[in-house]
Structure 1
Amino acid sequence: MTDVLLPPRGTTSPWRSTPFRWLLTGRTLIGLGSAITPVAMALAVLHLGGSATDLGLVVAAYALVDVITTLFAGVLGDRFSRALLMRGAAVLACLSQAIVALSLATGLASVPMLAVMSAVNGALAAISGPSSRAVLPQTVPALALPTAVSVLRLSQNTAMVVGFSLAGLLVGLFGPGWAIAVDAATFAASAVCFAAMKVEPLAEPAARSVLNDLGAGAREVFRHTWLWVLIVQALIYHLMYGGTQGVLGPVLVTRLFGEAAWGWALAALMVGFMVGGVISLRYRPDRMLFVGTAFLVLTACFPLTMALPVPLPVILLGAFLHGLGLEVFSVNWDLAIQQNIPPDKLARVFAFDQVGSFVMRPLGLALTGPVAESVGERSWLLATAAVMTAATLMALLPPPCAICDASPEQPPCTTP
């Protein structure tokens, strides 16, 4: 039996759990490095003479492979050691990012090469993604789970604020290669943390085919109305917003306010995440998914402010409100899934959540550059804000049973 140091079952604090502390440290380190890379990669493509369309293709390569790999990663996360998958993915991601950093530092990089390595990193992120979320209930007792979800997200978001804030500075002083080298180092350190994270293994799964496992995960998703309704809403959100953050934002804000400004905008976004996380530590609404979904209306503020002829502080405010609204929703969303899905299906459900949410993001990333060039950058940003608002309001339109409380005391509605 694995030696797992957990706090007493009656406590609501996750801090006395040694596995939770290792998980928290590892995921926080990854959050720090992963915040630096998008800024460094965007500026690297631009430094190589790439256009908005080229940047969109590089980011889309990551997103496409991530989506393709995630469903199988969910099956792996319910069959094998989640800690082992996380550790292996971190080691390989360290090597992959080191190759990217070296190619940029030596002048050997090209836009196609960055696209290929972006796809590799997308696959590695997919392998660890479902497991890194599903392993949380194995590290803390049930009563500590709400606090653990909030603390984990708050810590990651804090690290990403630091990462986004440093990204522009690192690129400006040392170049994008050295900035991505920092990401490689954080993956190496996180692999050490995940190696030290000892968790109780799940029961050995029955021998089934991959397709049977995927079918069982899909049935679990469609058994909960609140689950598939909000996955569809997220699909629309990422289709429209992915290109705003991955393509138009860096191009437009950098052109108007300088390279450091985009790092500040992403830092403001993450400060919003932090404030939303602090709010979620203290604020637990009865109808947590309904309230969380209502907060998503704030996400339209970021593309809206970038579409208007406003000074940089207004854009930073829009980014902050975006992060705040998204984080209040995300904490309640993660908690609802953790509390209502059987442990042996958690990785698959998180995989379907991720795939359903992000499946259209590669298309949005690839098309944003050409469409924005055709209709105008500001017009497309206004359209993005309008669609994001409409999608959120439509998710709130079904009767309360569709976006229900999803709490153990009040089980989620399963009405079609």
Structure 2
Amino acid sequence: MTTADGPLRHTAFRWLLVGTTVNSLGNMIAPVAIAFAVLDLGGSATQLGLVVGAYALADVVAVLWGGVLGDRLPRTVMMRASNAAAALVQGLVALSLTTHHGSLWLLAIGGALNGGLGSLAGPSTQAVTPQTVPAAVLRRAITLRRLSQNAAMIGGAGVAGLLVAWIGPGGALAVDAATFLVATTCFTRVRVPAVASGPRTRALAEARDGFREVVRHSWLWSLIAMALVYHLFYGGAQGVLGPIVVGDHISRAAWGYALSAMMTGFVLGGVLSLFWKPRRALLVGEWFLLLTACFPLAMALSDNLWVVLAGAFLHGFGLEIFSVGWDLSIQENVPEHMLARVYSFDQLGSFIARPIGLALTGPLASAVGERRWLLVVAGAIAVADLAPFLIRDVRRLERRPVAEEEAGDASGAVAPEVVTG
């Protein structure tokens, strides 16, 4: 293999790329559709927070099992089964809304089921990437995958508001159900080398092994802790206050445009990451992560659409540069047979406080004012993003030397192991 070879030359990666891209398209339609479905059913900001919080709570509850199963079973099996089940659930919720049988309880239950299914598949979907390409092109594979997903999320966010306006929240959720089916079909075409697993023990013991791997790396646990605080505050800002503040003071379509601007920031951050490869990618990413405070700050301070769009763009741009360095750091420094479990703890730590934030955002915003609370969110994000700089390994961790990548390029393709479905 020469250095001109890239991840797109590998069939498994191409199908993974298409499947995750379609998934991302639908994942941006669903939150907008559900938010306006709740509001159309007469729900308040607090009730919207509880409905969205049900999804987030199920996401947290199921994620550890998703990590353990992702390191036990073929990861592609986890991806296919979860997406097929999610298509069924989302299709039933869409049917209830289009036939005028929808309710807040049904939205909450459907969201919880899909949150759990997403968590069962999530660690496997992230951990499978190194199985689809040689190590030499892993960074490019990570960047291309994130770039493609973010581009799809731009489209999803951009059309979400239009779909809700044209065919209603139920019709928009039917489109989301169709994307799950397409993703399932793509994942059936992913054929990857089997991962040599560690000694098989009880599921709880395997989860503890994953936790030990996390705490072994100070850069890993410290940034997961940072993400916990970030999602505690930001989850409600985007999931609850964003549709209300922007939707009421500008327009419903403007909220979709804001999410598209954020996804545009993700894409351009990904494009930059294709060419810019800082030696201390995690440290550089942490600096850029400070830009995430711009979106809640813009919503708090202005009713001007362009100011909100700029804040959303900067949020996405900074978060994407961090995320590329974060994924690369995990996949270069964690043993392959532990990846799904480590990713599950990453998701657990990141999102465990999100349901609390979603549930409390409505009452707190009502008590102090929606825009004052958005200012609090911006300040909390800035403090949380600055704290990891105190950890030496965050400042010192370096990506794999270029010489090793070139050696990997010369070594050939993926190691010949037993291929599983």
Give the structure-1-normalised TM-score.
0.95
Question: Which residue number corresponds to residue 407 of structure 2?
Answer: none
Question: Which residue number corresponds to residue 293 of structure 1?
Answer: 286
Q: Match of 1:285, SS?
A: coil
Give 2:348's match in structure 1, choosing from 341, 351, 355: 355
Question: Which residue number corresponds to residue 111 of structure 1?
Answer: 104
Q: CA–CA distance in 2 between the matches of 1:12 and 1:206?
A: 35
Give 1:41's match in structure 2, choosing from 23, 34, 49: 34
How has the CA–CA distance of structure 1 residues 96 and 406 changed in structure 2, closer, same or farther, with 3 Å as cutoff?
A: farther
Shift of 1:63: 0.4
Q: CA–CA distance in 2 between the matches of 1:173 and 1:404?
A: 51
Whichever residue aligns with residue 396 of structure 2, its letter is C
* Equivalent residues of 2:54, 2:111 under 8 A apart: yes
* Equivalent residues of 1:226, 1:404 under 8 A apart: no
Shift of 1:312: 1.1
Question: Which residue number corresponds to residue 10 of structure 2?
Answer: 17
Q: CA–CA distance in 2 between the matches of 1:246 and 1:229?
A: 25
* Equivalent residues of 2:63, 2:119 under 8 A apart: yes
Whichever residue aligns with residue 296 of structure 1, its letter is L
**C-alpha deviations, 1:277-327, integer Å up to 9, x for none?**
101111111111111001011000000011113411100100000000000
Q: Match of 2:196, SS?
A: coil
Question: Which residue number corresponds to residue 314 of structure 1?
Answer: 307
Give 2:170's match in structure 1, choosing from 177, 193, 211: 177
* Equivalent residues of 2:197, 2:337 under 8 A apart: no
Shift of 1:81: 0.5
Q: CA–CA distance in 2 between the matches of 1:164 and 1:100?
A: 20
CA RMSD of aligned residues (A): 1.2
User: How much identity, in percent, do the aligned residues show?
Assistant: 54
Runs (5+) with no aligned partner, structure 1:
1-7, 411-416
Question: Which residue number corresponds to residue 399 of structure 2?
Answer: 407
Runs (5+) with no aligned partner, structure 2:
403-421
Question: Which residue number corresponds to residue 269 of structure 2?
Answer: 276
Question: Which residue number corresponds to residue 382 of structure 2?
Answer: 389
Q: CA–CA distance in 2 between the matches of 1:17 and 1:54?
A: 46
* Equivalent residues of 1:217, 1:352 under 8 A apart: yes
Q: Does 1:138 align with 2:131?
A: yes
**C-alpha deviations, 1:46-91, integer Å up to 9, x for none?**
0110011111001100000101100111000000000000000010
Question: Which residue number corresponds to residue 190 of structure 1?
Answer: 183
Q: Does 1:164 align with 2:157?
A: yes
Shift of 1:408: 3.2
Shift of 1:258: 1.5
Larger displacement relative to structure 2 (319-328 or 252-261): 252-261
**C-alpha deviations, 1:235-256, integer Å up to 9, x for none?**
1100010000000001111001
Q: CA–CA distance in 1 between the matches of 2:387 and 2:176?
A: 38
Shift of 1:391: 1.1
Shift of 1:207: 2.4
Larger displacement relative to structure 2 (386-395 or 74-83): 386-395
Q: CA–CA distance in 1 between the matches of 2:279 and 2:399?
A: 9
Larger displacement relative to structure 2 (198-207 or 26-35): 198-207
Whichever residue aligns with residue 153 of structure 1, its letter is R
* Equivalent residues of 2:230, 2:384 under 8 A apart: yes
Q: CA–CA distance in 2 between the matches of 1:103 and 1:134?
A: 35
Shift of 1:211: 1.3
Whichever residue aligns with residue 111 of structure 1, its letter is L
Q: CA–CA distance in 2 between the matches of 1:144 and 1:157?
A: 20
Q: CA–CA distance in 2 between the matches of 1:322 and 1:309?
A: 16
Q: CA–CA distance in 2 between the matches of 1:11 and 1:215?
A: 41
Larger displacement relative to structure 2 (401-410 or 45-54): 401-410
Q: CA–CA distance in 2 between the matches of 1:406 and 1:222?
A: 19
Q: CA–CA distance in 2 between the matches of 1:10 and 1:133?
A: 24
Shift of 1:397: 2.7
Shift of 1:205: 4.2
**C-alpha deviations, 1:119-147, integer Å up to 9, x for none?**
00000000100000000000000001000
Shift of 1:259: 1.2
Question: Which residue number corresponds to residue 322 of structure 2?
Answer: 329
* Equivalent residues of 1:52, 1:248 under 8 A apart: yes
Q: Does 1:209 align with 2:202?
A: yes
What does residue range 3-152 of structure 1 map to in structure 2 within 5 Å? 8=1, 13-152=6-145
How has the CA–CA distance of structure 1 residues 320 and 396 changed in structure 2, closer, same or farther, with 3 Å as cutoff?
A: same
Give the structure-2-normalised TM-score.
0.94
Q: CA–CA distance in 2 between the matches of 1:83 and 1:403?
A: 35
Q: CA–CA distance in 1 between the matches of 2:357 and 2:170?
A: 27
Shift of 1:204: 4.6
**C-alpha deviations, 1:302-359, integer Å up to 9, x for none?**
0001111341110010000000000000011001101111010000000000100111
Give 1:253's match in structure 2, choosing from 241, 246, 256: 246
Whichever residue aligns with residue 337 of structure 1, its letter is I
Q: CA–CA distance in 2 between the matches of 1:55 and 1:306?
A: 19
* Equivalent residues of 2:269, 2:320 under 8 A apart: yes
Shift of 1:203: 2.0
Whichever residue aligns with residue 127 of structure 1, its letter is L
Q: CA–CA distance in 1 between the matches of 2:91 and 2:336?
A: 35
Shift of 1:393: 1.3
Whichever residue aligns with residue 375 of structure 2, its letter is L
Whichever residue aligns with residue 347 of structure 2, its letter is Q
Q: CA–CA distance in 2 between the matches of 1:229 and 1:385?
A: 20
Q: CA–CA distance in 2 between the matches of 1:397 and 1:344?
A: 30
Q: Match of 1:175, SS?
A: helix
